[in-house]
Amino acid sequence: MKTVFKRTPTYKDVPTHYCPGCGHGIAHRLLAEVIDELDIRDRTIGIAPVGCAVLEYDYIDVDMVEVAHGRAPAVATGMKRTNPDKIIFSYQGDGDLASIGAGEILHAGHRGEQITVIFINNAVYGMTGGQMAPTTMLNQVTTTTPKGRNAVEQGYPMQVCELLAVLPGTIYIERCAMSNPAAIKNAKKALRHAFELQVEGAQGMSLVEILSPCPTYWRMNPPDAMAWIDREMVKAFPLGKIK
């Protein structure tokens, strides 16, 4: 029998703790595939965030560290500066990167740290039970915006890519989605490019934002969640290469 598809070795053969329809699993697989395709597993160090992906090291088979909420870009700075030959990535959610860690990501980008950032935007806090994130959509209901997000009181969804793109220290920024096969393929291309830049020693930070479904806290079934990304989320977070 001919093998047409197999698990990439860096993606561990274990069940994940993610909810059905969650985007983290797909993003993990793409990440692992890119690491294997570029043959950088034995010199890659990953940083897991605080959030649903906190146990990322249980699934991605590279050296990994789990760090304080939002501080991954600072940790990555410490790693990359002392180990310029290693490939350093951080994997962060929207609460982690855009809320509590807004300072760290901004300054890592500002300094042009040679790291790769994977930014999972699912418009909600998953791990803590569905609270408002900086990227929560207007009118989106969360446990802390029971009447829907209201721009006057809670501000607009935060556009991280556009914010970081103005910094000279960022070299590559693209927004992708886990919402349909074409978008997923494109996300893999973007991830690969972001890692390639670091492998080449390009001077600056690269970041790939991934719009990712959270059926549980969007209170939708998985197909509806995927469709909601393509129909609604992309209005606040347009896809494509930002920089």
Partner 1 sequence: MKVNTELTTTKRVLMCGNEALAEAAIIAGVDAYFGYPITPQNEIPAYMAKRMPEEGRVFVQSESELAAINMIFGAAATGKRAMTSSSSPGISLMQEGISYLAGAELPAVIVNVMRGGPGLGNIAASQSDYFQATRGGGHGDYRTIVLAPASAQEMADVMPLAFDLADQYRMPVMILADGLLGQMMEPVLLEKKEKRKLPPKDWALTGAKDRPQNIVRSLWLKEGVLEKLNEKLQARYAQIAENEVLCEQYKVEDSDIVLIAYGISARIVKSAVTKARKEGIKAGWIRPVTLWPFPSEQISKAAEELRIFLTVELSCGQMVEDVKLAVAGKSPVLFFGRTGGGVPTVDDVLNQIRQLTIKHKS
| Residue from 7, 9, 63, 185 binding partner 1 (CB under 8 A) | 63
Residues 64-103 that bind partner 1 (CB under 8 A): 64-68, 71, 74-83, 86, 103
| Residue from 22, 27, 32, 45 binding partner 1 (CB under 8 A) | 45
Q: Name the minimum Å distance from CB 6 to partner 1.
A: 20
Using the minimum distance from each CB to partner 1, give the nearer residue, 3 or 82.
82
- 10 CB contacts (<8 Å, ≥6 apart)? 32, 33, 35, 36, 41, 60, 61, 62
CB atoms within 10 A of CB 192: 18
Q: How many residues bind partner 1 (CB under 8 A)?
A: 35
| Residue from 33, 61, 96, 174 binding partner 1 (CB under 8 A) | 61
Read off the DSSP letter of residue 51. Answer: S
Q: Name the minimum Å distance from CB 147 to partner 1.
A: 33
Per CB under 8 A, does 104 bind partner 1?
Answer: yes
Per CB under 8 A, does 57 bind partner 1?
Answer: yes
- 206 CB contacts (<8 Å, ≥6 apart)? 115, 116, 117, 170, 171, 172, 173, 193, 194, 197, 198
Per CB under 8 A, does 184 bind partner 1?
Answer: no
Using the minimum distance from each CB to partner 1, give the nearer residue, 57 or 148.
57
| Residue from 23, 32, 44, 92 binding partner 1 (CB under 8 A) | 44
CB hemisphere CA count around 210 (13 angstroms): 32
3-state secondary structure of 116: strand
CB atoms within 10 A of CB 206: 26
Interaxial angle between packed helices 72-82 and 102-111, expressed in degrees from 0 to 180 and rounded to the nearest 10: 30
By CB under 8 A, name the binding residues for partner 1: 41-45, 47, 54-55, 57, 61-68, 71, 74-83, 86, 103-104, 106-107, 110-111
